Amino acid sequence: MGVDQSPQPYIGAVPPGAYWIRNSYSGNALDLEGSNAAPGTPIVNYQVHRGLNQKWILEPGIRGYKIKNAKTGTFMGFASHDGINKGSSISGNPAAIEWDIVSEGSNYKIRLSADTSLILDLANYGTENGNKVIVWPDNCGANQHWILESCNPATYVGIIGPGAYWIRNGHTKAALDLAVPSCAPATPVINGEITRRPSQKWILETGTHGFRFKNAETGTYLSIAYRLAPVKYMNVTCNPLPMEWDVVKNGWNYRFVVFSSIGVQS
């Protein structure tokens, strides 16, 4: 009797399924340009809008995932799979190739399975809509780190419920407030005199690993500069893109812990 030696499916750093994929440096999403199914359609970095052309389905292969666009059914690859070199731009292709996804801190690197020296790279750290995405040798740049957000995540359960809150500092008793009522990215968040104006009202929305704190006046979220990895003493701001905060009990009060960097606290 023979023994079936057929290869086992790939097991990656994230489970198979549907994901939004964003660049850690720009905050923008992998986007199949124009939702076009034609071979060679560029895959670019574009402002997050949650369209199906920004939704990617990870299907296990043998040495990596086949990354399929939810809108067109085409796969992340290249205009031609022959002669792939550093600097080659990625595009949609009906023929699948495999990508190895590995952890990098709280983010991920996406490596070409056929040549793991080449990884997915936001070309020239560009932040404009339509910026090219290429493969490039690993240089540990933030533009080579990617955030994979499940489209069907588990739901965070906090020690307080979601809803609208006034948030005061336990020492100063002053309120969490916007320096100015602006929707602009990186608007400073301050500790100010209690007035109960809308900019001091925060709506806790349930995320995957924590609450998203949305300002009732502007609709922007309590965050830090989302292009940077959080470190201690970094100023807290409001941004259009949410960041999740784990709310933990601290005596009679609470602490807010940035999910993406355990131990960095507000």
Rounded CA Rg of the chain = 21
Q: What is the pLDDT of residue 243?
A: 86
pLDDT digits 0-9 by tens, 172-225: 999 999 999 998 888 999 999 999 999 999 999 988 788 999 999 999 999 876
Q: What is the pLDDT of residue 265?
A: 40
Structure token pair of residue 206: 């349930």
Residue 263's pLDDT band (cuts 50, 70, 90): very low
| Rounded average pLDDT over 245-253 | 85
% of residues, the chain, pLDDT over 90: 64
Q: What is the pLDDT of residue 72?
A: 96
Distances (CA, A) of 31 to 21, 43, 81, 264, 265: 9, 5, 20, 31, 33
pLDDT digits 0-9 by tens, 59-79: 999 999 999 999 999 999 998
What whole-number distance in Å separates Cα of residue 131 and Cα of residue 46? 7
Structure token pair of residue 164: 């609208």
> Is 80 exceeded by the pLDDT of residue 252?
yes
> Is 50 exceeded by the pLDDT of residue 2?
no
Q: Decide: 68 and 57 in contact? Cβ < 8 Å.
A: yes
